[in-house]
Amino acid sequence: MENIRNQIVSGGMVPVFNHTDQEIACRVVKACYDGGLRVFEWTNRGVEAEGMFKVVKEFISKNCPGMLLGVGSVFDGDTCRRFHAMGASFIVSPVVDPEMAKACKELKVMWIPGCGTVTEIFQAQKWGAGIVKIFPGDAVGGPGFVKAVLGPMPWAQIMPTGGVSPEPENLKAWFKAGVCCVGMGSKLFTKERINDPDPEKLVLEIKIVMQTIEGCRMK
């Protein structure tokens, strides 16, 4: 699990995405890979999400060597077990749940629970979370919340999702506050970008985001 955490943190960004169209889903995954990302979070939303996860997992196995596929929007231990059996490398949730913590510990799979308070962050870490997700990041206090938490808890590995955008000033604010990485979804995967049959625009955007993150970390 430590290797998985290191891969997530070193990349600086976890793309968060879900779609019902196989072609679009695989095109977005490949654009992320070509842009330099080596992790991808598939969102478990909608009746087709589970089947699409299998499609994306197979696509990654054949076309994106070294890329980790995780699943998000998970709320219970049974769902953790199902997706782990399908090859999920990490589990992401909007909540902190003891049954999920237990399941992920038994499965020896990386668990990234969603937290909105210092108490939740502390509890999540006690239950084995390697990284904690603050969600929704902008609503719980934004970069200011992260900075305040890291005062008494400098060891916390925090990934905000919700309120993170590709704009340099937004990314600079989060990384200056001390996040280990960020999760980014709809602000990056706009309808215009994901529906464009030429993925190069999205590849370029991802490269720019990663360069921005690298620059933020060097300061």
Q: What pTM does this model have?
A: 0.96
Segment 42-55, tens digit of pLDDT: 999 999 999 999 99
What's the rounded Cα separation, in Å, for the pair 114 and 121? 8
Give the closest residue to 90 by CA, choosing from 67, 114, 66, 110: 110
Task: Name the packing angle between helices 49-63 and 77-85 (round to 10°).
Answer: 40
Helix (H) or strand (E) holding 96: none
SS3 content of the chain, % helix, strand, coil (to 5): 50, 15, 35
Q: Is the pLDDT of residue 129 over 90?
A: yes
CATH (domain of 138)? 3.20.20.70
Q: Is the pLDDT of residue 182 over 70?
A: yes
What's the rounded Cα separation, in Å, for the pair 210 and 58? 26
User: At 130, is the pLDDT very low, low, confident or very high (cuts 50, 70, 90)?
Assistant: confident
Report the pLDDT value the prediction gives residue 1, as an integer from 0 to 100: 80
Q: Identify the domain containing residue 60 by its residue range.
A: 2-218
Segment 59-96, tens digit of pLDDT: 999 999 999 999 999 999 999 999 999 999 999 999 99
In total, how many domains does the chain have?
1
What's the rounded Cα separation, in Å, for the pair 71 and 40? 8
Q: What's the average model confidence in pLDDT over 93-110?
A: 97
Average pLDDT of the residues of the chain: 96
Strand, coil or helix: 69:
strand
